[in-house]
Amino acid sequence: MDPVEILDILGNENRRRILQLLSCRPFYFNEMAKRLDLGPKAVIDHLEMLERAGLVECYRDDRRRKYFRIAENVVLEVAFSPHSYGIRTYRPRPLVRPEPTRAVEGASRVSSGPKAPVGSVRGAVRPPELEEVCSHLRELEVERLRLRGLLEEIASEEMVVRRLATGLIGEFASDEMEAEILTVLVSGESGAGALARRLGIPAPVVEEKLRDLAAQGKVQKRGELWTI
């Protein structure tokens, strides 16, 4: 999935509302349009865009009624600071637990495969099992907060290192273009074309500058990618 495309798609409030609605359960078209108070054509256009991006998929129930649901788990991360800007998407890997509890196994069976409309699995989860599932969710929330704290520490340290790198680049870069190219390459290797698009500079100009930097020993080329 292209993170830039997904970010652009999510820039529309109604598409975000559709995804928020589908995060609860699958919906068929008319039900979705009524719930969101949107015109049929608008809903169709939004769903088609979400389907093309791989965020939403459709299936038919026993009565051949067409349902829409979120296609898969996706995490979109956007991070920016005075010295960096980045967007990425990834699919979270499921946790591997050696001996899942009976409640978690039951919940997995209920949630696996196409989600059925509310009410079709009534009675599948008994109150004690539901309590155990809620307890497990609370444990996961504690772990998530712990990991968020760790990520914040890493992000803070990363900003310090980036400020240091920016200062060093400013000391030995011969001009602004060189400084911009080196600043981008601090975040990782990149092709000349991607650099040109990122900086808004014609590709031939960037390629010539990269060759100059390579001659000075400031950058090197590995295959089709440039790196510091």
Query: Per-residue pLDDT tens for 112-168?
Result: 445 445 555 555 556 888 888 899 999 998 998 898 888 878 877 877 888 888 888
What's the CA gap between 190 and 181, in Å, rounded?
A: 10
Looking at residue 126, its pLDDT comes to 64
What's the CA gap between 92 and 72, in Å, rounded?
A: 10
Residue 46, classified by CB atoms within 10 Å of its CB into exposed (0-12), middle (13-18) or buried (19+), is buried
What's the CA gap between 204 and 196, in Å, rounded?
A: 9
Judged against a pLDDT cut of 60, whether residue 32 lies above it is answered with: yes
| Token pair listed for 80 | 């920016």
Domains of the chain (ranges, CATH numbers) = 3-90 (1.10.10.10), 173-227 (1.10.10.10)
Looking at residue 124, its pLDDT comes to 53
Reported confidence tier of residue 98, pLDDT bands at 50, 70, 90 = very low
* Phi, psi (degrees; rounded to nearest 5) at 66: -85, 120
Give the best-scoring range by mean pLDDT among 22-26, 42-46, 130-134: 42-46
Determine contact, residues 178/213, Cβ cutoff 8 Å: yes
Looking at residue 117, its pLDDT comes to 52
Judged against a pLDDT cut of 70, whether residue 111 lies above it is answered with: no
Question: Tell me, what amino acid is at 48?
Answer: E
Looking at the whole model, is its pTM more than 0.75? no
What's the CA gap between 16 and 4, in Å, rounded?
A: 16
Looking at residue 119, its pLDDT comes to 52
Mean predicted lDDT score pLDDT of the chain: 82
What's the CA gap between 132 and 159, in Å, rounded?
A: 41
| Token pair listed for 141 | 């929330």
Determine contact, residues 133/125, Cβ cutoff 8 Å: yes
Task: Say which DSSP state 99 is in.
Answer: S
Nearest 5°: the CA angle 196, 212, 224 is 50
